[in-house]
Amino acid sequence: MPTETRLREAICDVGRRMWSRSQVAANDGNISVRTDSNEVLCTPSGVSKGFMDPAELVKLSMDGRTMGEGRPSSEVLLHLACYWARRDVGAVVHAHPPYATAFAALGKPVPTRYLTEIAVALQEVPCAEYGAPGTSEVPRSALPMLETADAFLLRNHGVVTVGTDVWEAYHRMETVEQGAMVATIIAQLGGAEPLDDEQLCDLAAIRREQGLGVKAADYDPTDCLKRLSEQEEAIDRE
């Protein structure tokens, strides 16, 4: 496991790449990483992902308590929910790449039956139901997606990708946007024949050989739902 210093640098590096590739604008998007001490490093609120300093990142406990200075992203509950629900997730990236976000605005999944690369890498990119930003509605809408997908859309919002580390999560974000862009161009050109079921079956075998896909043993929403309910009850008491 990289040191905390290395993790902070990696988050900032990913943030710069997201900004330079127009996956985020202004202060959009957020990134987090789970450390080996089972804490979370998260991007701060109100800061451009293209111009972050490692010292600005906020450290949280797994129950969401801020450890030190700084205010975490308003979507930190979404990130925590990914860790609570998936034991294999070591990093979460949320961004608004234009083509994939257009599919999110339409409430449609990103097509994965046109390209062998996206079919192998992700298999599916479903779209979650709408949730009000910064509320528990967003992680609750994400939970069903996490059972089978490593990348998914938030309705009228953007894209979420998870990975064992921040680079895997970020590369999945690139894959989603590439697939969405190609699917859009295909539609503009009049359409194309998608991969058939037999071809998809062959690609699924490649996915299994590469150890890709969500393992049933890694997904358990029970603790996540309990923690979200506790968060909601605490807000109601305020």
Tokens at 128, concatenated: 């979650």
- Terminal-residue alpha carbon distance, the chain: 39
Alpha-carbon distance 120 to 106, whole Å? 24
* Distance (Å) of CA 90 to CA 31, 70, 71, 136: 11, 22, 21, 21
Alpha-carbon distance 208 to 66, whole Å? 38
* Distance (Å) of CA 11 to CA 49, 58, 80, 238: 9, 11, 16, 33
Catalytic residue set: 75
| Three-class HEC string of 186-232 | HHHCCCCCCCCHHHHHHHHHHHHHCCCCCCHHHECCHHHHHHHHHHH
Task: Classify 142 as helix, strand or coil.
Answer: helix
Alpha-carbon distance 18 to 112, whole Å? 22
Tokens at 44, concatenated: 């701060």
Contact 54, 119 (CB under 8 A): no
Task: Classify 159 as helix, strand or coil.
Answer: strand
Alpha-carbon distance 112 to 129, whole Å? 19
